[in-house]
A and B are shown apart, each in its own frame.
Chain A
Amino acid sequence: MAPARSLTVIPDFTLTARIDQVGAEERASRFTKRSIKKDAKMNGLKLVLNMIDLTTLEGKDTDGKVKQLCYKAMHPHDAVPGIPTVAAICVYPSMVKVAKKALEGSGIKVASVASAFPSGQAPRDIKIRDTKYAVSEGADEVDMVISRGKFHAGEYNFVFDEIAAIKEACGDARLKVILETGELGTLDKVRRASDIAMHAGADFIKTSTGKIQPAATMPVTLIMLEAIRDFYYKTGKMIGMKPAGGISKSKLALHYLVMVKEVLGEDWLNNHWFRFGASSLANDVLMQILKEKTGVYQSANYFSVD
């Protein structure tokens, strides 16, 4: 696919679309009014499970922990047939090789955070080396963070160039650009950062590292989905979306799915274009799936804690 951005004039990011926060929040809450029952619920839950980037990003991560998580990714709940796998495993670069080996042949992707995650406070060459290392270890996807300090200082060209450089370092790996919206402060800035990331070559835009509160929220995700939609109409290029952090319940995840359905439609309703960055969501989804099948809730003891 020819890079569409080469055909697109890079806009002045100070003139990016304006956002009215009250209106955005009102719109976001409207999605939560959709009633998801019966087949819609079951199919939605399976879709959600299949969109999860099962994540472990801890200082204490070990090979053993990552291997167990990979098994969970491939076999979320074998006691019940017909349950899909998750989309990907998300780990630190040093864990990519272990994950890659554990997931071999499963079709599940390995995503690695890189570029001095989570703060992004490192020189560019180190971020690029971090990225190249993750890719050389076998990462299918790279989750980078933007330089929020530079962004707040108005150095949009710096932020843009950095994303473009890391995109180049990614080679064939897909690049997710984390905006860390909890540090951006306004929805206007969320929109501006989204536009910069997409024009600079992001394959995905992602809300959060999971290390900062608030992480993903529905209004923030709505603004990013709308940015993706506008970019698509402008360039013809699809960009993926990944809300991360703070989505731990099925009901909330289904509300996000409603939002994707009603803002971007069919083409984005799959794990190639939409992901949930979450660790505890998977078990809640499994619990709900079993509740739909059996009519009763089972205790948390019945679901593996990996």
Chain B
Amino acid sequence: MATKTKNNTLKLKFDTSWSYSPAPESKSAATIHKQYDLFIDGEWQKPTSKKYFDTINPGNEEKLSEVADAGTADVDKAVKAARRAYEKVWKKMPAKERAKYIFRIARMIQEKARELAIIESLDGGKPIRESRDFDVPTAANHFFYYAGWADKLEYAFPNRRTEPLGVAGQIIPWNFPLLMAAWKIAPAIATGNTVVLKPAETTPLTALKLAEILQESDLPPGVVNIITGAGATGAAIVNHPDINKIAFTGSTDVGKIIQRAIAGTNKKVTLELGGKAANIIFEDAPIDQAVEGVINGIYFNQGHVCCAGSRLYVQESVAKEVIRKLKDRIESLIVGDPLDKNTDIGAINSRQQLETIHKYLSIGKKEGAEMYESSCRLPGKGFYCRPTLFTNVAQSNRIAQEEIFGPVLAVLTFRTDDEVIEKANNSPYGLSAGVWTDKGSKIFNMTKRMRAGVVWANTFNKFDPSSPFGGYKESGFGREGGLHGLAPYLNLVN
């Protein structure tokens, strides 16, 4: 057989005659109620406004359920319940008893893993492979991890006495709904605080499922209250006078509003905000593994990741090869039904987010960057975006500076180490970064000079409950995870 080659026209064909049949996970393995009330003081309470809003499946735009819209009065009720539980029960409970509840919650998340994964993919659009293999197990691991710390705080902070802050108001984003709830709730209650948590308005269902788990676990009423709503509900939490601590993950814009709102109050705060992570490939890198890492760094969860490696810096001598490999790899990514076990890239979380991404695609083209997208077909209904990359990008392009929060990679080139460090740090953000090189000394040099909360070397997007996570600059402050994640929920006395 002759190879069909003409100069420069070599192309591998990934649209093969042997293709995968649909392999959808079964929706019937998950129970979603028609309507959800607010989880306050251990029970389901109707919103005073009597208003509910829809939550839809972004994969096909069908309504999944409707959830209560919590107003100021509901927030107040939740905070009062949390305060009562804090003063009367949780603060006084021996730490090792608190730990048992948290451990039980972790176990129950594992037991209901399949159902949680299905709901997460239905409500948020992420591929079932990710919710099953990453979101849900990592969420359970956070509860396990912090259950272990609850009665060992004296070892976390030697020679210091710790005391909880009181009531924590926690506001989480739509990109990792259950996992972010776990990141927030686990350390808060392990350290003796009580919680009012608000999931994002487009992805409330797994948090509400978690509320059912909390109820079933016999966690004392009011220790964790989960209320749903949009920005106004979040604002009511932030502004409530009886809250001691705000933990927020979300956009930098909202983070700034929160900062302003709590100025002059006694509230503590941690903010985990946006990012525009630099992923740097040196010419001596293991190229195929680097390309795979870049692909996972930007297309994981449709690019809805605050630490996504959205700026790729490639050393010029290997740029052509890397770009060719990225394009080939993009072709083998499967875009489609989030519930299909073979889907690599699911649905964009909302119509609004899809529009934002499209806006940046046209900005990129206008800026003169060269756009390449996968040739895959997209489903007729639902919010989908092909994995896309831009080459010929300049540092001054908006697509290289601003957070797109979608499956869009900007590829830039560099010549020297100093140049790439300067360019990588040249961003208002500083959440994460990646370095790809075979040379150990270069890794240490880079990590030392990089202004980012997390720097991954020869890997990307690796998370573990024992490892702290958080940002520099406009990516926020405070750390979540690990021993560091305990401190924002404690006062250290004497």
Identify the A interface with B (CB < 8 A).
Answer: 1, 17-20, 22-24, 26-27, 33-41, 43-44, 47, 226, 229, 232-233, 236-238, 257, 261-267, 269, 272
Which residues on the A side are within 8 Å of B2 (C-beta)? Answer: 1
- Please determine whether A23 and B14 come into contact, CB atoms closer than 8 angstroms: no
- Please determine whether B289 and A34 come into contact, CB atoms closer than 8 angstroms: no
Q: Which of B19, B21, B459 has the most CB of A within 10 A?
A: B21
B285 within 8 A of A: yes
B155 within 8 A of A: no
Which residues on the B side are within 8 Å of A18 (C-beta)? Answer: 284-287, 438
Which residues on the A side are within 8 Å of B17 (C-beta)? Answer: 266, 269
- Please determine whether B458 and A23 come into contact, CB atoms closer than 8 angstroms: yes
- Please determine whether B293 and A233 come into contact, CB atoms closer than 8 angstroms: no
CB contact under 8 A between A27 and B14, given known A17-B286, A17-B287: no
Which residues on the B side are within 8 Å of A17 (C-beta)? Answer: 286-288
* 17 further A-B pairs in the complex, CB-CB below 8 A; given A17-B287, A27-B288, A33-B341: A20-B286, A20-B438, A23-B290, A23-B292, A23-B459, A27-B292, A36-B20, A36-B21, A37-B23, A39-B21, A41-B21, A232-B12, A233-B10, A264-B12, A265-B13, A265-B16, A267-B12
B15 within 8 A of A: yes
B5 within 8 A of A: yes
In the bound assembly, the distance between CA atoms of A22 and B342 in angstroms comes to 23
Which residues on the B side are within 8 Å of A19 (C-beta)? Answer: 286, 288-289
- Please determine whether A261 and B288 come into contact, CB atoms closer than 8 angstroms: no
- Please determine whether B458 and A22 come into contact, CB atoms closer than 8 angstroms: yes
In the bound assembly, the distance between CA atoms of A47 and B16 in angstroms comes to 13
- Please determine whether A24 and B16 come into contact, CB atoms closer than 8 angstroms: no
A263 to chain B: closest CB distance in Å?
Answer: 8
CB contact under 8 A between A44 and B18, given known A1-B2, A22-B459, A272-B1: yes
B443 to chain A: closest CB distance in Å?
Answer: 12
B401 to chain A: closest CB distance in Å?
Answer: 29
B3 within 8 A of A: yes
- Please determine whether A33 and B21 come into contact, CB atoms closer than 8 angstroms: no
In the bound assembly, the distance between CA atoms of A189 and B403 in angstroms comes to 40
- Please determine whether B288 and A40 come into contact, CB atoms closer than 8 angstroms: no
CB contact under 8 A between A37 and B21, given known A23-B286, A23-B293, A266-B14: yes
Which residues on the A side are within 8 Å of B1 (C-beta)? Answer: 238, 272
B324 within 8 A of A: yes
Which residues on the A side are within 8 Å of B15 (C-beta)? Answer: 266
- Please determine whether A262 and B14 come into contact, CB atoms closer than 8 angstroms: yes
- Please determine whether B288 and A226 come into contact, CB atoms closer than 8 angstroms: yes
- Please determine whether A35 and B341 come into contact, CB atoms closer than 8 angstroms: yes
- Please determine whether A40 and B18 come into contact, CB atoms closer than 8 angstroms: yes
- Please determine whether B13 and A34 come into contact, CB atoms closer than 8 angstroms: no
Q: Which of B19, B22, B288, B328 has the most CB of A within 10 A?
A: B288
- Please determine whether B3 and A47 come into contact, CB atoms closer than 8 angstroms: no
- Please determine whether A43 and B14 come into contact, CB atoms closer than 8 angstroms: no
CB contact under 8 A between A35 and B18, given known A18-B285, A236-B5: no
Which residues on the B side are within 8 Å of A229 (C-beta)? Answer: 12, 328
- Please determine whether B324 and A233 come into contact, CB atoms closer than 8 angstroms: yes
In the bound assembly, the distance between CA atoms of A36 and B22 in angstroms comes to 9
Q: Could you show 29 A-B contacts with beta carbons less than 8 Å apart?
A: A17-B286, A18-B287, A19-B286, A19-B288, A22-B458, A22-B459, A23-B289, A23-B290, A23-B458, A23-B459, A24-B289, A27-B292, A34-B341, A34-B342, A35-B23, A35-B341, A36-B20, A226-B288, A229-B12, A233-B324, A237-B3, A238-B1, A257-B18, A261-B14, A261-B18, A264-B12, A265-B12, A266-B12, A267-B12
In the bound assembly, the distance between CA atoms of A40 and B334 in angstroms comes to 15
- Please determine whether B13 and A267 come into contact, CB atoms closer than 8 angstroms: yes
CB contact under 8 A between A40 and B289, given known A1-B2, A265-B13: no
Which residues on the A side are within 8 Å of B293 (C-beta)? Answer: 23
B129 within 8 A of A: yes
In the bound assembly, the distance between CA atoms of A18 and B14 in angstroms comes to 25
A26 to chain B: closest CB distance in Å?
Answer: 8
In the bound assembly, the distance between CA atoms of A266 and B12 in angstroms comes to 8
The 4 residue pairs across chains A and B that have the minimum distance between CB atoms? A23-B289, A236-B5, A35-B23, A20-B286
B317 within 8 A of A: no
Which residues on the B side are within 8 Å of A264 (C-beta)? Answer: 12
- Please determine whether A47 and B14 come into contact, CB atoms closer than 8 angstroms: no
Which residues on the B side are within 8 Å of A263 (C-beta)? Answer: 332
In the bound assembly, the distance between CA atoms of A40 and B469 in angstroms comes to 41
In the bound assembly, the distance between CA atoms of A1 and B3 in angstroms comes to 9
In the bound assembly, the distance between CA atoms of A238 and B287 in angstroms comes to 21
CB-nearest residue of chain B to A261? B16
Which residues on the B side are within 8 Å of A266 (C-beta)? Answer: 12-17
- Please determine whether A265 and B289 come into contact, CB atoms closer than 8 angstroms: no
CB contact under 8 A between A269 and B21, given known A19-B286, A19-B289: no
CB contact under 8 A between A40 and B285, given known A35-B342, A261-B14: no
In the bound assembly, the distance between CA atoms of A264 and B284 in angstroms comes to 24
Which residues on the A side are within 8 Å of B458 (C-beta)? Answer: 20, 22-23
Which residues on the A side are within 8 Å of B286 (C-beta)? Answer: 17-20, 23
- Please determine whether B289 and A262 come into contact, CB atoms closer than 8 angstroms: no
Which residues on the B side are within 8 Å of A24 (C-beta)? Answer: 288-289
CB-nearest residue of chain A to B133? A33
CB-nearest residue of chain A to B284? A18
In the bound assembly, the distance between CA atoms of A39 and B20 in angstroms comes to 8
CB contact under 8 A between A236 and B288, given known A37-B21, A37-B23, A44-B18: no
In the bound assembly, the distance between CA atoms of A37 and B458 in angstroms comes to 34
In the bound assembly, the distance between CA atoms of A263 and B10 in angstroms comes to 14
- Please determine whether A40 and B21 come into contact, CB atoms closer than 8 angstroms: yes
CB-nearest residue of chain A to B332? A262
Those of B1-51 within 8 Å (CB) of chain A: 1-3, 5, 10, 12-23
Which residues on the B side are within 8 Å of A41 (C-beta)? Answer: 21
- Please determine whether B16 and A269 come into contact, CB atoms closer than 8 angstroms: yes
CB-nearest residue of chain A to B12? A265
In the bound assembly, the distance between CA atoms of A265 and B15 in angstroms comes to 7
B136 to chain A: closest CB distance in Å?
Answer: 15
Which residues on the B side are within 8 Å of A39 (C-beta)? Answer: 21
In the bound assembly, the distance between CA atoms of A232 and B5 in angstroms comes to 10
CB-nearest residue of chain B to A238? B3
- Please determine whether A34 and B3 come into contact, CB atoms closer than 8 angstroms: no
Partner of A38, one of B14, B21, B129, B292: B21
CB-nearest residue of chain B to A268? B12
In the bound assembly, the distance between CA atoms of A38 and B458 in angstroms comes to 38
CB contact under 8 A between A34 and B18, given known A20-B289, A232-B10: no
Which residues on the A side are within 8 Å of B287 (C-beta)? Answer: 17-18
- Please determine whether B3 and A40 come into contact, CB atoms closer than 8 angstroms: no
In the bound assembly, the distance between CA atoms of A22 and B436 in angstroms comes to 13
In the bound assembly, the distance between CA atoms of A37 and B19 in angstroms comes to 10
A296 to chain B: closest CB distance in Å?
Answer: 21
A54 to chain B: closest CB distance in Å?
Answer: 22
Q: Which of A22, A34, A41, A257 has the most CB of B within 10 A?
A: A34
B81 to chain A: closest CB distance in Å?
Answer: 42
